[in-house]
Amino acid sequence: MVSKMIPTSEANRDKQTLRSVLSPATERGGGPEVIKMKGQKNLTHRVITMLERKEMDFLDKLGKDALFSTGRKLPYNEILKGLVDLAMEVGISGEKIASSDTFKQRLLEQIRAIMQEEEAKKG
């Protein structure tokens, strides 16, 4: 199912910068994919990843825990986006990271350093 915002005139067509595309993921409850057009900076991209069973079970549990505590299931894409946003916020770079284990260790180090700084400010 595809839904497009269609301008009413030729003049408006040139001004239109946003098109909403409903993908098959939307039909499964993943939410609409919004693609900004004509040079807009924030593009939404689909990312495919391979996860082990225990990782998928963890994502399922997070989503279901959110459902039972808030009434809204947290979709995989929002969980993964939150983790990416966290890594960006704590200032992780890809420098000298060769594996997921190294990335995880660096992320934990950054979080611990930020927590220690916060504790030092308090007391």
Spans of all domains in the chain: 1-46, 50-89, 93-123
Q: Is the pLDDT of residue 72 over 70?
A: yes
Report pLDDT digits (tens) over 12-69.
444 333 333 333 344 444 555 555 556 666 778 888 999 999 999 999 999 999 999 9
> What are the structure tokens assigned to 41, written together?
């900076």
Cβ proximity of 19 and 5 under 8 Å: yes
In degrees and rounded to multiples of 5, residue 18 shows phi and psi of -130, 130
Task: Confirm if 37 and 56 have CB atoms less than 8 A apart.
Answer: no
Tell me how far apart the alpha carbons of residues 3 and 49 are, in angstroms, rounded to a whole number. Answer: 27
pTM for this prediction: 0.61
The answer to whether 44 and 38 have CB atoms below 8 angstroms apart is: no
Residue 46 confidence (pLDDT):
87
Number of residues written out for the chain: 123
Mean pLDDT of all residues in the chain?
77
